[in-house]
A and B are shown apart, each in its own frame.
Chain A
Amino acid sequence: MNEIVTNITLRKAQVSAEQLNFVKSHKKYHFTITLSRWIILFLFLFLWEISTDLKWIDGFFFSSPKRVFLCLYKLFVEQELFLHCGITLFETLISFFLVTFMSIFIATMLWYSQKMADILEPFLVILNSLPKSALAPLFIVWLGTGMKTIIVAGISVALFGSIISLYTGFKQIDKEEMKLIYTLQGTKKDVLTKVVIPGSVPLLLSSMKVNIGLALVGVVIGEFLSARRGLGYLIIYGSQVFQLDLVITSIIILCVIAMGLYLCIQYLEHYYKKL
């Protein structure tokens, strides 16, 4: 123990030139990465704006950063911005939480019963590969044109893939770790709660990252078909009345929402790793 302590203090006391160099080049690398990202973004916006201003492309069809900004401002003044964003965000979060809980529950059931998993496997694979947008018209007939349909559409896109990836992950738990629980006279339930679930947290987080994106996809598909509010509705409405500024603005807002949701989960992941 003493040895370890002295080692650490030694390391702190004398920071070598090589170490300083390493830290410097590491910082430089990350600075370059961030800078390049901003440059690409601004270059794109600049070219977009210039090309519409100089009439290389038609601003009516392709919009421009200026038009997007004006459109955003108009939405904000008319107090529609937060309504539409809020609705889409709310629906996405509800689908996301339902997908997460349902897929954990079903994957656990499948893990519990090998027989059930073997029986259900082909059905899961088919449901997963089925294009879920094909189901949306059915949902409308069954559930009406309200929020229910949209949330179910969001769930349907993400659920099956999530079940399959969680179940596959659960199955990959080390056999010896399971044996350890049995040697300590634990039961299968103990294997689940003490090994499988805590050991699958990283997998769960990465599957959540995928799910939040897919839930958003499903919600927008649902809104295309059956909504009166929400960003998906704005896109469809905008294309029908030929207000392409509105379409592109909505798409950009969707980008921001998608990024925000992803960052939330990444933050969660970061927090878990620090724990």
Chain B
Amino acid sequence: MEMLLRLKNIGYSYHSLKGEIPALKDVSFDVHNGEFLAIVGPSGCGKSTLLSIIARLINPESGTIFVENPDGLIHYPKIGYMLQHDHLFEWRNIFQNVSLGLELKHQLTPTNIAYVNQLLASYGLDEFKEKKPSELSGGMRQRAALIRTLAIKPDILLLDEPFSALDYQTRLSVSSDICNIIRKTGKTAILITHDLSEAISIADRIVVLSKRPGTVKCIIPIQLTVTEKTPMESRNAVEFRDYFNLLWKELES
């Protein structure tokens, strides 16, 4: 598989007057084009910091990220970032919320607006365009947040526990919903989660991080015997339990 990003020896620490807290140390792995990568690890192991570094919201203190685009040009891939909460603004209607990214970059061209409308239509939010976010259910709000992320046509999607704020039942259906959408678009995605079953059911490969300071313990490719790789189907695969135990052991050790 083609490589998109190569992280090499990434390190990052948080500084306060009380001292230095190392969050990440020597983190290295590749991100392949078109794959769904999950990152799991104990809480506080620097998962979110790692995503912020990949999104270039913060700069790593050591290490480098190499870029290799399929088109052979050297430019950083466009990042779409989905946060834990949808953060839809109540003072904007759904259309204004999902087109926020385009608005910020002054790219509200007719073509882009048509694209946003098409996204809204294909993910069933067409008739909610003029509605306020509070009028939508939790699942619909996450969809709107996803559309907001997709509207800027990112090359890589970063998902920072986007389902953890939902209750269990909604979580299952929303995560499979969102993941099916992402699979269909064929985008590269990196998902952070602390839910092992979620990671196994969604990802192609799982990067396991150690306790703080986070470093890569192992990378587990997931091969499930299912007809279609949807999160719901995957949970029924025979290998599911084995992967779960393997991940559990890796995290415990």
- Say yes or no: is A122 at the interface (Cβ < 8 Å to chain B): no
Q: Which chain A positions have C-beta within 8 A of B100?
A: 184, 194
Interface size bucket, B side? 10 to 19
Q: Which residues of the partner chain A approach B91 to less than 8 Å between Cβ atoms?
A: 198-199, 201
A-B contact pairs, 12 of them (CB 8 A): A176-B83, A176-B84, A183-B80, A184-B81, A184-B100, A185-B104, A185-B105, A185-B152, A194-B89, A194-B100, A194-B103, A201-B91
A1-B127, A176-B84, A179-B57 known; A185+B101 contact, CB < 8 A? yes
Mask, A161-204, CB within 8 Å of B = 1, is: 00000000000001011011111111000100011001101000
Say whether A184 contacts B87, CB under 8 Å: no
Contact partner, B87, options A1, A180, A185, A190, Cβ 8 Å: A180
In this assembly, does B67 line the interface, its C-beta being within 8 Å of a C-beta of chain A?
A: no
Interface centre among B79, B101, B104, B127 (most CB of A within 10 A): B104
Evaluate contact between B87 and A182: CB separation under 8 angstroms: no
Closest A residue, CB atoms, query B57: A182
Q: B interface vs A, CB < 8 Å?
A: 55, 57, 79-81, 83-85, 87, 89, 91, 100-101, 103-105, 127, 148, 152
Can you list the 5 inter-chain pairs with the closest CB atoms, starting with the nearest? A183-B81, A184-B101, A186-B104, A198-B91, A180-B87
Contact partners of A182 in chain B: CB under 8 A: 57
Sample of 17 further A-B pairs with CB below 8 A, known A177-B87, A180-B81:
A176-B83, A177-B89, A182-B57, A183-B55, A183-B57, A183-B79, A183-B80, A183-B81, A183-B83, A185-B101, A185-B105, A190-B104, A194-B100, A195-B89, A198-B89, A198-B91, A201-B91
Contact A176 B104 (CB under 8 A): no
- Chain A interface, DSSP helix/strand/loop, else mixed: helix
A192 smallest CB distance to B (angstroms): 12
The answer to whether A194 and B104 have CB atoms under 8 Å apart is yes
Point out residues on A near B: beta carbons under 8 Å: 1, 174, 176-177, 179-186, 190, 194-195, 198-199, 201
Q: Which single residue of chain A is at the shortest CB-CB distance from B158?
A: A183
Specify which of B79, B83, B103, B127 is in contact with A180 (CB 8 Å cutoff).
Answer: B83
Contact B85 A176 (CB under 8 A): yes
Give the CA-CA distance A194 to B103 in the complex, in Å.
10
- Residues on A with C-beta less than 8 A from B83 are 176, 179-180, 183
Which B residue sits closest to A181, measured CB to CB?
A: B104
In the complex, how many angstroms separate the beta carbon of A235 from the nearest chain B beta carbon?
43
When C-beta atoms are compared, the residue in chain A nearest to B132 turns out to be A275
Does A184 lie within 8 Å of B89, measured CB to CB? no
Residues of B within 8 A of A201 (CB): 91
CB-CB < 8 A to B85: which residues of A? 176
Q: Among A176, A184, A185, A201, which residue has the most Cβ atoms of chain B within 10 A? A: A184
Minimum CB–CB distance for B92 against chain A, Å: 8
Shortest Cβ gap from A6 to chain B (Å):
16
CA distance A2 to B70 in the complex (A): 45
A198 to B80, CA, bound (A): 24
A174–B91 alpha-carbon span in the complex (Å): 15
For residue A186, which residues in chain B have a CB less than 8 angstroms away from its CB? 104
Which residues of B sit under 8 angstroms from A185, Cβ to Cβ? 101, 104-105, 152
Q: Bound complex: CA of A199 vs CA of B89, how far in Å?
A: 8
